[in-house]
Amino acid sequence: MDYIDTELKARKNVALIGEYFQAPREYASARELLAKRLMDFVLSIDRGFVLAALKKRIPTPKGTHRYVDVVFYNRNLRCFVLINLKTSLIIPHDVERIAYCALWYDIHEKSIRDASSVGVAVSVGKEKTIVEMASEDEDVATNVALLLPSADELNFLFRREKTE
């Protein structure tokens, strides 16, 4: 039994080192705080969201990896919602990255009965919060937008985080 516990702890530590190696610790912890606050808020509003993953690592064809901060599954819409947080402005490349991650989820994680995955890029700026969405199915993206917190709610949520 001790061998199994030791083996599991060793694998967990290796996985944690791999997950957080891509960014300096202070940057990762700031994004983690924002991601945790967002996760708690989305789960508390009870609109059918369940947590699927935190800091999900997605491989790219070039052999590198992309990371998605929070992945939810919506039971009502039967789709994955991938959310990536940024502390700078969203550029078209960011939307392309989250669209790639949503497509990867469609290919590798989604079941046949699930709808298309939706990628959401959230920019937490000094003045306001900006949200961009990407999905293969526009109807699903529209329905997810209705269930997720509004830009004003997110702005209040993240402003509160900065003042605490």
pLDDT digits over 48-80, tens only? 999 999 989 999 989 899 999 999 999 999 999
Number of domains in the chain: 1
Contacts of 163 (CB under 8 A, 6+ apart): none
Judge whether 61 lies within some domain. Answer: yes
pLDDT digits (tens, 9 = 90+) for 89-108: 888 889 999 999 999 999 99
Q: Which two tokens stand for residue 27?
A: 């940057």
Judge whether 105 lies within some domain. Answer: yes
CA distance 130 to 132: 7
Checking if the pLDDT of 159 tops 80, the result is no
Strand order in the sheet with 118-124: 49-59, 65-74, 79-86, 118-124, 129-135
Judge whether 118 lies within some domain. Answer: yes
Contacts of 152 (CB under 8 A, 6+ apart): none
CA distance 123 to 111: 30
> Residue 121's domain is classified under what CATH number?
3.40.1350.10
- Least confident interval from 5-9, 67-71, 79-83: 5-9
Judge whether 131 lies within some domain. Answer: yes
Judge whether 3 lies within some domain. Answer: no
Checking if the pLDDT of 28 tops 70, the result is no
Judge whether 9 lies within some domain. Answer: no
Judge whether 74 lies within some domain. Answer: yes
More confident residue, 65 or 3: 65
Range of the domain at 97: 24-163
Judge whether 6 lies within some domain. Answer: no
